[in-house]
Structure 1
Amino acid sequence: MATLPSSSALFIFFLFHVLHLTNCEPFIGVNYGQVADNLPPPEATAKLLQSTAIEKVRLFGADPAIIKALANTGVGIVIGAGNGDVPALASDPSFAKNWINSNVLPFYPASNIILITVGNEVLFSGDQNLMNQLLPAMQNLNNALNEASLGGKIKVSTVHAMTLLKQSDPPSSGIFDPNIADLMKGLLEFNNATGSPFPINPYPFFAYQSDPRPETLAFCLFQPNSGRVDSGTKIKYTNMFDAQLDAVRSALNAMGFSGVEIVVAETGWPYKGDANEVGPSMENAKAYVGNLVTHLRSKVGTPLMPGKSVDTYLFALYDEDLKPGPASERSFGLFKPDLSMTFDAGLSKASEAPSTSKSPVTPSPKPQKAAVWCVPKAGVSDAQLQANLDYACGQGIDCSSIQPGGACFEPNTLASHATYAMNLLYQTAGRNPWNCDFSQTATLSSNNPSYDGCNYPGGST
C-alpha cells in the first residue's frame, strides 16, 4: 500500500478532528492528576474518556505514557511544566527547546496537544524570584514552539488561583491585586499577543466553606435561590460559578484585556471529607457537577460572557489517594480506579441530552416507560416558586410560552408559570433525577399538566 504524503496525513487528521468536534461538547474537560498509587493503565483511561462527553484532558505534567495513549482519540490535551521547571525555562532557551523536543514533538499531532501550562498558581507561591521568572519561561517555551513551526497551534499560558483577585464581590467590581499589577500586565500582554487563554481555578466549594448558609449552598450548587444582585450592573446572579467568572472578566476588562479568553482550569466538589469539614458529600458533589454540566450544555454563558460556554476542566478524573491534607483533598474523583462512576453527573454519552437530529431507528420491542413531568411539590412557598422560575428561565430554555401572549401565559399565576419552566428545564436538560430537584421542592409526576392549547413536553426517564 502506498504511504500518504505527510501533508495528506495531516489533512486527514485535521478533517477527522473537525468532524469529531461537530458532534461533541468541546467545552467539557477534566483534570487527570497522578498523585496516586492505584490508577488504571493510561490505555484504559483513554477508552473510558471516549465513552464520555469529556473532550479535553488537563495533565499537571507531561507523562509520555498518557500522552501516547490519547493519540488518535481526538481528545484535546493540556500538558504542564512544573513550578520547578520555571527557573531553567526562564534562563536557558535551549532548555525550553529540549522540553518541547521531549514532551511535544514525539507525540504531536497524533496526540492533540492544545495548551502548555507553565507552573501552577505561581503568582501566589510566595517566591518572588519564581514569580519574576514566569513570563520569561513562557516566552522561551513559545519561542521554541515557533522554531518547531507549532506557534499558534499549541498555546502557552499559566494557571491562576482566584486569590489573584483583590476584590470579586460584586462581580462588576472584580480587580486584580495591585501588588502584582506589573507582573499581571506582562502576562496578559503575552496572552493577548499569542491568543492564549487565561486559566483560572474557581471553586464555589471553598466559597461555601467560608459562608456555610443554606442560601449560599443553593447558590453554589446551581440550585434555585433568591439570587444576588450586582449593585454595579443590577444583574441578578443565580449561581456562584457565573459570579466568580464574571469577576475575573471584570478584572481583565479593567486592565484593558477584554480580548483575552478565560478558561476554567479546575473546578469541582468533593464527595466526602473529614467530620469537621463543611460541604463535602455525595449529594452536593453530584448536584454541583451535574448542574454545572447542564449549565455548560445550555450555552447560555455568564451575564458578562453570554451565548457561549467557557472551556471548563472538571476536577478530577480520579481520586488521588496520596495527596496530603484533609480527606476532601482525596475525594474529587468522578471515576473509581475500576473505571466505574463515583456518581452519575450526566457525563456518559448515553446521559447526554436527547437529540432530535439522529436518524430514526426501529427499536427492539420492550416495555414502554410512562411519561413523567417535573412539577412543584405541594405546599412550596411563592418565594421558592419564584426562585425556581427565575432559575429555570435563566438556564437558556425557551420561556416565551409563559410570556404575555404565549400559549401557556394563562392562567397568569406564579404556580402555573413555575411549573411550566421547571418541567421544561427537566425535559431539555436530560431527564436526570437532579434536573428535577430544585432544592428538594420538585417531584416527578405521571399526570400530564397540559391544558387547552398549552402543551407541557413530557418523556420517560
Structure 2
Amino acid sequence: MGVRRWLDAAVIIVVLQAFLCHSAKSQSFIGVNYGTIADNLPPPASTANLLKSTSIGKVRLYEPQPDLVAALAGSNISILLGVPNADVPNLASSPAAASAWAAANIPTTVPVSAISVGNELLNSGDPSLAPQLLPAMQNLLAALPAGSTTKAMHSMAVLSSSDPPSSGAFHEDLAASLVPVLDFLKQNGAPFMINPYPYFAYRSDTRPETLAFCLFQPNPGRVDAASGLTYTNMFDAQLDAIRAALDAKGYPGVDIVIAETGWPYKGDADEAGATADNAKAYNGNLVAHLKSQVGTPRTPGKSVDTYLFALYDEDLKGGPESERSFGLYKTDLTANYDIGLAAAPGTATPATVTPITVVQVPPRDSCLPILSLQLWIDDAHGVDVADQYCPLVLVLQNTPQPSRTPTGFCVTAAGVPGTTQGQQVPQTSSCYIPAGAGSRRVDADAAVRRLVWLGVLLCLLTLVRK
C-alpha cells in the first residue's frame, strides 16, 4: 500500500442512507467496525452486550450479520450495513435484483444508518467492478423506502495531491468513475466517507516529531503555507485534504464521514510504532478530539462521525502482524487498552459482559499432602451462563472432578463454528476451545501448577507443626 506524507490509501465504498422503520440518527458520533475474518469471535449476543456497555452508538458490518443484528434489537445502536463486493454485479444487473437483496438483508428490528456498497472496489484488482458501482447504488436506492438518501465512502488513495492539505486534489484518471458518484452524492445529500490511517503515514516517516503529530501529542505543528492554517495532528490534515479536493471539484456541500481509522497495538519487528501505548494514545486522543467537537483548522466547530477500526482482532487476516492487531477488545470481551468508551452511568443498556468467577474454598481440615486443583467450567452454582463466555471455577479438593473443557465459550453443539449458531445456551452446556485459545490455556495451567505447589507447601508445614 502506497503511503504519502499526509495521507494513507484507504477504501472506496458507496453508502446508501436508509431511514427504514426507525430513525437511525444516533446521539453518539463514535462508531466501530465489526470485522469477521476470524475463527474465534465471541457469540453475537456477547458482542451485543459488550457494545451496549459502551458509548459506541454505531456499528459497521462488512456484510449482513443477522445473528448480531437480532442481538442488538431494542438497543439504540445503529447499523452501517455492507454489501460484499461479490454482490455488486448482481445489484447492478437490475432493480429487481437490488430489491430482492434489500428484502432479504436489510433488518427492520434495529436502526439502519446506511448501506455500504462494496469494499475497496477501486483497489480490488477487478476492473469490471468500478463501472458497476453507480448502477448498483442507483438500483439499491430505488429499492429503499421513499425519502431515503445516499452516502458514499471513498478512498484517500483517490488523491493525486495531499501535501499540504490545501492542495488536496483527486486523480484525474479516476474522473470517469468518481465524478458520477460525487454527482450522485450531491443530488442525494450524502456524505463522502474516507479511511484515514495516520499509522501508515508514520511508518513512512518514523521521526519522533512525526509520531507526536500522528498521536495528537504536543508537537510544533505543521503550517500549510498556502492556506496559512497550522495543523497539530495528522488526522485533521488528512480530513482537510479530502475537504480541499471536494471543494476544488465543486462539491463544497458534500460532508465527510470517517469510515475507518485505528492504530495496531502490536506488529512485526520491522513495523515501527505498532505498540499498545501508541494504539491507546491514538485512539484515546482521537475519541477526546471528537468529543471536544473542535473540528479541523479548515472546518472548525464541525463534528464528524467516525468509525474506529476495529472491535476485535481478526486472526485469519494475512500480511504482517499489525493487520491482525487493531482490535479495541480481546475476544474474551476484555479491553486491550482503555480509551474512555465506557458508557456514562445510567445511559448503558443493562448487559452482562463480565465473566462470573466462583471460588470454592475447602474446609480448613481438608488440606492433604496430595491435592487435585482443577480449572473447569461452572454449571453447578445456579449461574445463568447464557449469552456469556464461560465463568471459571477454582476447586481445591482431594478427589478428581469430571473432565471438562476449559477456557472457551459456553455453547450448544449448534454454536460451534461450522454449524448453525444463535441458540440459547442452557446451564448444562459444555464448552469448546476456540482457535487461538491455546496460549491462554498454557498461562492458566502454569498458574494452577504454582497454586498447587503453594497448597502442598502449606499442608506440609501444617503437618510438621502437628
CA–CA separation in structure 1 for the residues paired with 2:322 and 2:236: 24
CA–CA separation in structure 2 for the residues paired with 1:205 and 1:174: 20
| Alignment counterpart, residue 69 of structure 1, candidates 68, 71, 94 | 71
Q: How does 1:376-395 map to 2 (within 5 A)?
A: none
Q: How does 1:73-84 map to 2 (within 5 A)?
A: 73-84=75-86
CA–CA separation in structure 2 for the residues paired with 1:13 and 1:199: 22
Q: How does 1:43-62 map to 2 (within 5 A)?
A: 43-62=45-64
CA–CA separation in structure 2 for the residues paired with 1:314 and 1:13: 24
CA–CA separation in structure 2 for the residues paired with 1:190 and 1:123: 17
1:151-204 CA distance string (max 9 Å, x none): 42xx54443221111111111100011101122110011111112221111000
1:394-437 CA distance string (max 9 Å, x none): xxxxxxxxxxxxxxxxxxxxxxxxxxxxxxxxxxxxxxxxxxxx
The 1:13/1:95 distance shift into structure 2, 3 A limit, reads: closer
CA–CA separation in structure 1 for the residues paired with 2:20 and 2:35: 32
CA–CA separation in structure 2 for the residues paired with 1:64 and 1:316: 19
Greater share of helix:
1
Residue 123 of structure 1, CA deviation: 2.2
Matched, 1:178 2:160: no
Indicate if the aligned counterparts of 1:120 and 1:159 stay in contact, CA closer than 8 A.
Answer: no
Pairwise CA RMSD of aligned residues?
Answer: 2.0
Which runs of structure 1 show a deviation greater than 6 angstroms over 4 or more consecutive aligned residues?
10-13
How many residues are matched?
Answer: 328
Matched, 1:288 2:282: yes
Q: How does 1:164-313 map to 2 (within 5 A)?
A: 164-313=158-307
1:120 partner SS: coil
CA–CA separation in structure 2 for the residues paired with 1:160 and 1:325: 23
**Aligned AA for 2:75?**
T
Q: How does 1:378-417 map to 2 (within 5 A)?
A: none
**Aligned AA for 2:64?**
A
| Alignment counterpart, residue 42 of structure 2, candidates 13, 16, 40 | 40
- 1:337 corresponds in structure 2 to 331
- 2:90 corresponds in structure 1 to 88
Give the TM-score normalised by structure 1.
0.68
The 1:169/1:262 distance shift into structure 2, 3 A limit, reads: same
Matched, 1:102 2:104: yes
The 1:41/1:151 distance shift into structure 2, 3 A limit, reads: farther
Residue 12 of structure 1, CA deviation: 11
1:236-288 CA distance string (max 9 Å, x none): 00000000000000001111111111110000000000111111000000000
Indicate if the aligned counterparts of 1:117 and 1:158 stay in contact, CA closer than 8 A.
Answer: yes
2:118 partner SS: strand
**Aligned AA for 1:197?**
P
1:197-244 CA distance string (max 9 Å, x none): 211110000000111111110000000001100011110000000000
Matched, 1:121 2:85: no
User: What are the ranges of 5 or more consecutive residues in structure 1 without an aligned counterpart?
Assistant: 1-9, 353-461
CA–CA separation in structure 2 for the residues paired with 1:215 and 1:319: 29
- 1:144 corresponds in structure 2 to 143
Residue 47 of structure 1, CA deviation: 1.4
User: What are the ranges of 5 or more consecutive residues in structure 2 without an aligned counterpart?
Assistant: 1-18, 347-466
CA–CA separation in structure 2 for the residues paired with 1:197 and 1:259: 9
- 2:318 corresponds in structure 1 to 324
CA–CA separation in structure 2 for the residues paired with 1:71 and 1:307: 33
CA–CA separation in structure 2 for the residues paired with 1:12 and 1:245: 32
Residue 118 of structure 1, CA deviation: 0.5
1:35-61 CA distance string (max 9 Å, x none): 111111111111111111111000000
**Aligned AA for 2:313?**
D
Residue 308 of structure 1, CA deviation: 2.2
CA–CA separation in structure 2 for the residues paired with 1:94 and 1:348: 43
**Structure 1 stretch 87-96 or stretch 197-206: which is displaced more?**
87-96
Indicate if the aligned counterparts of 1:271 and 1:285 stay in contact, CA closer than 8 A.
Answer: yes
Indicate if the aligned counterparts of 1:119 and 1:158 stay in contact, CA closer than 8 A.
Answer: no
**Aligned AA for 2:168?**
G
The 1:158/1:86 distance shift into structure 2, 3 A limit, reads: farther
Indicate if the aligned counterparts of 2:150 and 2:189 stay in contact, CA closer than 8 A.
Answer: no
CA–CA separation in structure 2 for the residues paired with 1:169 and 1:78: 31
Indicate if the aligned counterparts of 2:35 and 2:312 stay in contact, CA closer than 8 A.
Answer: yes
1:331-380 CA distance string (max 9 Å, x none): 0000111111110011112599xxxxxxxxxxxxxxxxxxxxxxxxxxxx
1:270 partner SS: coil
Residue 100 of structure 1, CA deviation: 0.4
The 1:281/1:263 distance shift into structure 2, 3 A limit, reads: same
CA–CA separation in structure 1 for the residues paired with 2:126 and 2:311: 30
Larger relative contact order (Cα-Cα within 8 Å, sequence gap ≥ 6): 2
CA–CA separation in structure 1 for the residues paired with 2:272 and 2:155: 21
Residue 125 of structure 1, CA deviation: 2.8
CA–CA separation in structure 1 for the residues paired with 2:29 and 2:319: 30
Indicate if the aligned counterparts of 2:54 and 2:343 stay in contact, CA closer than 8 A.
Answer: yes
Give the TM-score normalised by structure 2.
0.68
Residue 13 of structure 1, CA deviation: 6.2
